[in-house]
Amino acid sequence: MNNLAILPIILPLLASVIVAFIPGKLNMVRKISQTLSILFLIIVGYITWEVFSNGVIVLQGGGWKAPYGISFVADYLSIILVLTTYVIAAAAVFYAPHSLSNQQEKFYFYTFFFLLISGVSGAFLTGDLFNLFVFFEVLLMASYGLIILGNGKVQLRESLKYVLINLFSSMLFVTTVAFVYSIVGTVNMAHIAERVEAVPAEQQGIITAIGVLLFFVFAVKAAIFPLYYWLPNSYVVPNPVVSALFGALLTKVGIYSIFRIYTLIFVHDTSFTHDQLFIWLAMFTMLFGVIGALSTNNVKLIITYNIIPAIGFILMGIGLYSEDGLTGSIYYLMHDMVVKAALFFLVGALVVAAGTKDLSKMSGVIQRFPLLGWLFFLGTLVLTGIPPFSGFIGKLLLLRGALSEGYFLLTLVALVSSLLILLSMIRIFIRGFWGEKMEGMTSDNRKVHALTIPAIFLLSVSIFLGVGAELVLPYIETISGYLLDRTEYISSVLKG
Amino acid sequence: MEIIMIVLAAILFATGVYNLLQKQLLRIIIGTALISHGAHLFILTMGKLKRGAPPVEAHGVSDYADPLPQALILTSIVISFGVTSFLLVLAYRAYKLNNTDNMEKLRGSE
């Protein structure tokens, strides 16, 4: 049964190879990809059920025991994020045929897509720091392939910067792994955690320095203030389906890594890393992200900027490092992955419907496309966290955690930035959807409707997360309890 | 020996960063290549250098070099090789379409 832990990595890898052989037969590729995505979703759902009912699944790669081989750990946190990834993937694969041109699809979209899913799942599931770097590279390579799909002038220009910043942070990652190896003599995360505890107190400073260096690496990938400058332009240039995958998955892999590292390994100096660094950076990330979202009239850029404050909220929960904080953070992470993908899908449909990205040229779209309009409104409510939707539960827990530990400024900043997120989103609704019916709207109603269907699916998942919070919350509380008590992870990897 | 390697890695990092901060695209790519070389040397040094010992743990071998850093470097070299070659192609395409390889002229939103 241990092999279940590696299935979410192997299956999409296999699928990517299968579809790479028949790029020309587009209909067949689409059918295969769609069937496989749904099949994979069911399999991953089963694995999740297995993990939650029978405990953590650990696979020691090649039968080598823990510190020597590479471990794959399907624990509660990683498997629930893998499940969310597969939900988004299943929606994206139905969105892609209507959003991409045939030419773009033929240029191995589905191959890169499955590789991306494989890399993301791998990064979630691996229990080895160096292997995490390898899976980062797998998903980045796939993302390089996806970001240049279309070969536009601006696209190439911005993807160049995207590749460079990621290459630089990857090299820093390798250097940091070398530091870790020189100090504790291992790269297995559970083993590192065990050995870091044994480091004498006067040498703890170097461990903290390494921790901050690793945080820097992941902060670049997760787009945390002040390292988010590369994100808006490079996420806005590709096709909406690619932006949705990036916005929903890539930055979240970065924040997941921070989650993992800072609940498992670097917990010896929380008064500096968690209470000071994370809390302050979370505040700035929220504020600056949302200021960016208010500064532009490009509808897609508004959604892209809204990725950044969400990362701030998740980081805030890690900084609190309490039951409430972590539960809220994980809830918010899941919610944000789903709703960001849904919003990118909707905004892609909106751009097709209105024929422009510029909000100042848009008006009255709701008169022709009422379904799209109301879905967008619903998405706005879900994103901002209006009760009873999923954003509300996460934010409630985060704010409760912040208040109970006396972070009043943080609470205030979080509330204000939520309000500003609502403002930035409702601007699209008021100016784009209301008002006089604009000229130049598309006549292709069927295409717009086809584009909204995957978004409906994701929004209903999101609404389930909110309305069905009583069903979901116990599971998330299990996760946060599990993260706060590190011994279970360490013992299940090293002794399993 | 370790000191020499560390100094060498530091020089590679420094020249890499210097090149990374240039305006010309090709120099930037060379900069990333230099930084990755520096990082690889650094891993090797961090695993402690040793001469004349096999990187295996087998029966009868009591003195062995640490094989893990070598495995890590090999992986990392392959990855950086792949990324660099991709980056070169990407830079060429970007240069062709935008008619410039000057980063100052490659900015702007939209």
Grade residue A356 by pLDDT with cuts at 50, 70 and 90: confident
Distance (Å, rounded) from C-alpha A302 to C-alpha A289?
10
* Nearest alpha carbon to residue A143 among A242, A217, A76, A4: A242
Distance (Å, rounded) from C-alpha A415 to C-alpha A5?
39
Grade residue B19 by pLDDT with cuts at 50, 70 and 90: very high
Contacts of B93 in chain A (CB under 8 A): 148, 151, 156
Report percent pLDDT > 70 for chain A. 100
Phi-psi region of A250 (alpha: psi -120 to 50; beta: other; left: phi over 0): alpha
Grade residue A388 by pLDDT with cuts at 50, 70 and 90: confident
Grade residue B70 by pLDDT with cuts at 50, 70 and 90: confident
Distance (Å, rounded) from C-alpha A302 to C-alpha A293?
5
- What is the pLDDT of chain A when averaged over all its residues? 90
Task: Compute and round to an integer the Cα radius of gyration of chain A.
Answer: 22
Distance (Å, rounded) from C-alpha A23 to C-alpha A27?
10
Query: What burial letters (b/e) apply to B42-57, b meaning 16+ CB within 10 Å?
Result: bbbbbbeeeeeeeeee
Map out the domains of chain A as residue ranges.
2-494
Residue A122 neighbours by CB under 8 Å, 6+ apart: A9, A131, A134, A135, A138, A139
- Cβ pair B36:A171 closer than 8 A: yes
Residues in chain B: 110
Residue B83, both tokens: 């990324």
Q: Tokens 């990036």 sit at which residue?
A: A246
A229 touches chain B (CB under 8 A): no
Report percent pLDDT > 90 for chain A. 58
Residue A49 pLDDT exceeds 90: yes
Residue of A140, A157, A184, A217 best to disrupt the B interface, most CBs of B under 10 A: A157
Name the helix (H) or strand (E) containing A74.
strand A71-74
Residues B19, B31 contacting (CB under 8 angstroms): yes
pLDDT, residue B57, reads 67
Distance (Å, rounded) from C-alpha A179 to C-alpha A70?
19
**A12, A25, A193, A342, A425 from A34: Cα distances, Å:** 12, 14, 40, 18, 31
- Cβ pair A156:B82 closer than 8 A: no
* Nearest alpha carbon to residue A72 among A141, A142, A9: A9
Residue B109 pLDDT exceeds 70: no
- What is the pLDDT of chain B when averaged over all its residues? 87
Peptide bond just before A474 cis, omega within 30 deg = no
Distance (Å, rounded) from C-alpha A416 to C-alpha A387?
17
Distance (Å, rounded) from C-alpha A158 to C-alpha B94?
9
A164 touches chain B (CB under 8 A): yes
pLDDT, residue A246, reads 93
Residue A496 pLDDT exceeds 60: no
Residue A461 neighbours by CB under 8 Å, 6+ apart: A87, A338
Query: What burial letters (b/e) apply to A43-82, b meaning 16+ CB within 10 Å?
Result: ebeebbebbbeeebbbbbbeeeebbeebbbbbbbbbbbbb
* A30: number of Cβ within 10 Å: 18
Nearest-10 crossing angle of helices A408-427, A390-404 = 160
Grade residue A457 by pLDDT with cuts at 50, 70 and 90: very high
pLDDT, residue A42, reads 96
Contacts of A159 in chain B (CB under 8 A): 90, 94
Residue A306 pLDDT exceeds 60: yes
Task: Give the distance from CA A111 to its chain's centroid.
Answer: 20
A178 touches chain B (CB under 8 A): yes
Residue A391 pLDDT exceeds 70: yes
Residue A328, both tokens: 């809220």
Phi-psi region of A25 (alpha: psi -120 to 50; beta: other; left: phi over 0): beta
Residue A125 pLDDT exceeds 80: yes
Residues A373, A365 contacting (CB under 8 angstroms): yes
Find residue B102's DSSP bridge partners.
B24
Q: What is the pLDDT of residues A241-298, one digit of tens each?
A: 999 999 999 999 999 999 999 999 888 888 888 888 999 999 999 999 999 999 888 9
Residue A458 pLDDT exceeds 90: yes
pLDDT, residue A1, reads 61
Grade residue A468 by pLDDT with cuts at 50, 70 and 90: confident
Helices assigned H by DSSP within A185-250: 189-198, 204-222, 231-236, 240-245
Residue of B86, B88, B89, B99 best to disrupt the A interface, most CBs of A under 10 A: B86
- Pick A1 or B48 by higher pLDDT: B48
pLDDT, residue A217, reads 93
pLDDT, residue A165, reads 92
Q: What is the pLDDT of residues A20-31, one digit of tens each?
A: 998 888 899 999
Q: Averaging pLDDT over each range in A326-335, A432-441, B92-101, which range is the top one? A: A326-335
Residue A55 neighbours by CB under 8 Å, 6+ apart: A492
Residue A211, both tokens: 């921790």
Q: Which structural domains are found in chain B, ordered by start?
A: 2-106 (1.10.287.3510)
Name the helix (H) or strand (E) containing A391.
helix A390-404
Q: What is the pLDDT of residues A138-170, one digit of tens each?
A: 999 999 999 988 878 888 888 899 999 999 999
pLDDT, residue A387, reads 82
Residues A282, A395 contacting (CB under 8 angstroms): no
* A397: number of Cβ within 10 Å: 27
pLDDT, residue A64, reads 82
SS3 per-residue string spanning A484-495: HCCHHHHHHHHC
pLDDT, residue A55, reads 87
B19 touches chain A (CB under 8 A): no
Grade residue A345 by pLDDT with cuts at 50, 70 and 90: very high
- Cβ pair A163:B87 closer than 8 A: yes
B109 touches chain A (CB under 8 A): yes
pLDDT, residue A360, reads 86
In this predicted complex, what is the ipTM? Answer: 0.93
Q: What is the pLDDT of residues A176-234, one digit of tens each?
A: 999 999 888 889 999 999 898 888 888 888 899 999 999 999 999 999 988 998 898 88
- Cβ pair B47:A187 closer than 8 A: no
Grade residue B51 by pLDDT with cuts at 50, 70 and 90: confident
- Cβ pair B110:A178 closer than 8 A: no
Min Cα separation B27/chain A (Å):
12
Instruction: Tell me the average pLDDT across A416-443.
Output: 87
Residues A349, A372 contacting (CB under 8 angstroms): yes
pLDDT, residue A198, reads 85
Size of interface A-B (CB pairs under 8 A): 96
Residue of A108, A154, A171 best to disrupt the B interface, most CBs of B under 10 A: A171
Distance (Å, rounded) from C-alpha B63 to C-alpha A33?
52
**A488, B37, B62 from A185: Cα distances, Å:** 22, 22, 19
Distance (Å, rounded) from C-alpha A26 to C-alpha A247?
26
